[in-house]
Amino acid sequence: MEGLDISHPEILQFLLDEQGVDVSSKGIEASDDLSAWQEQWNSDSEFGRILPIVISEQGEKVIGFPLEPELDVFLQSGSLMSDQTLHGQDERKAPQRILVLDDDVAGLQMLVQQMNKAQVEIADSFSSLVESALEHGMPDLVLVNTSLIGDIEGTDWWRNSTDSDLDSALPVIFLSEDKSTEAEVAAFEAGAADFIAKPFHPRVLQARLNMHLQARESQQQLNNIARADALTSICNRREFDLRLMGEWSRGARTGQALGLLMIDVDKFKEYNDYYGHLRGDECLIAVAQILNSCMQRTSDLIARYGGEEFVALLPDSGLEGALTVAEDCLEAILEAELAHVHSDVLPCITVSIGVSAMVPIHDKSSTMLIEQADIALYQAKQNGRNRICSFDEWS
């Protein structure tokens, strides 16, 4: 709290009481740590005595204190984005993320104050900027001080470094102390979404960044519509192809395995013939929802591949992990007991699943992964359906 010395136990106790924070019955004892922290607050120019800078164990920074649950997640993972937040459809919408590469503390404080509804993450180097995007997902907006990216020209450095070719709508904004027309023209010719010269007026900065964030959100809403299967509302074939391309490239770079499940609804033609196509559509919607509930991580993707065939993409997952997800899918479909009296497998809906996994290779096509899962799926059908086969069993 600006103006109050929190190294004094009475003041700290008062502030905690004001915020309704319960502490132990022993109260707050004076400590050298508190005094040292207050001294740093008073003397360290990076703190600026206005907003604290929270640094996680991974070295990520956030200016200002987030809410307590978000702070816990940030200190543990280096990101304010949690799996629970991303998975929970009933949770409040996560704030938009702004990644900033700049070393101007006063300017950063102004940015955080003006953009208090967004999550602002500060990077102190180009490598940490890229690392944050790779580890925690693409942000909604990138602000870069052009003096900190060296001799790199254009915005290709961002796309090439983060494999974000599939997210071309991501705006990259250049910050510069050069106010000349030549600098502004050069920025736009290099592919910048906007050019902001320093010093900037707080309200103008807020208006321009909000404009880009609103455009970003609108574009994402349109993309979500384009990525969804019209019948089942899970991802469609196009989205799967795009994600497979991106994860294949990432896996080739990191050396992490990529798993894939090909899932086919058994005897679905007979289902349509007996129950009719409207009931068939309802069945596919139910199967899609069940399979989607079996995806264990935010990075896992379930998509409709075509007709009664589904596909699951499992980043950072070897064959053992992929088989575990396949078993969950098989069991969940059986437990749903969707009636199918004309199936010669069981009197309910069942699925056959082919599983493959490999470490992506730069000079090989990602279709290898699909072909292997297809071979395993064929074997599962040949062996009686309602079962799982992996490619390594038949290779």
Chain region(s) in the chain for CATH 3.30.70.270: 237-394
**Sequence-separated (6 or more) residues with CB below 8 Å from residue 68:** none
Whether residue 171 is preceded by a cis peptide bond, meaning omega within 30 degrees of 0, is no
Chain region(s) in the chain for CATH 3.40.50.2300: 48-227
Half-sphere exposure of 133 (CA within 13 A, CB side): 27
Structure tokens at 88: 């929970």
β partners of residue 388:
353
**Sequence-separated (6 or more) residues with CB below 8 Å from residue 157:** 126, 149
* Sheet of 194-197, strand order: 53-55, 61-63, 119-123, 97-101, 141-145, 172-176, 194-197
**Cα gap 115→96, rounded to integer Å:** 10
Confidence (pLDDT) at 74:
57
Confidence (pLDDT) at 89:
39
Structure tokens at 46: 């990076």
Q: Residues 322, 359: contact at Cβ < 8 Å?
A: no
β partners of residue 197:
176
Q: Which CATH architecture has domain 237-394?
A: 2-Layer Sandwich (3.30)
Q: Which CATH architecture has domain 48-227?
A: 3-Layer(aba) Sandwich (3.40)
pLDDT string in tens for the chain (395-residue length): 455 666 566 776 777 777 676 655 444 555 566 666 666 656 655 554 445 556 665 555 555 555 555 556 555 555 544 333 333 333 456 789 898 988 887 788 888 888 888 888 888 888 888 888 878 878 899 998 888 876 655 555 566 566 554 455 688 899 988 989 998 998 888 888 899 988 888 888 888 999 999 898 888 888 878 889 999 999 999 999 999 999 999 999 999 999 999 999 999 999 999 999 999 999 999 999 999 999 989 899 999 999 999 999 999 999 999 999 999 999 999 999 999 999 999 999 999 999 999 999 988 899 999 999 999 999 999 999 999 999 985 54
Half-sphere exposure of 278 (CA within 13 A, CB side): 0
**Cα gap 337→332, rounded to integer Å:** 9
Confidence (pLDDT) at 383:
96
Confidence (pLDDT) at 337:
96
Q: Residues 116, 227: contact at Cβ < 8 Å?
A: no
pTM: 0.57
- Which has the closest alpha carbon to 163: 98, 239, 245, 60? 245
Confidence (pLDDT) at 81:
41
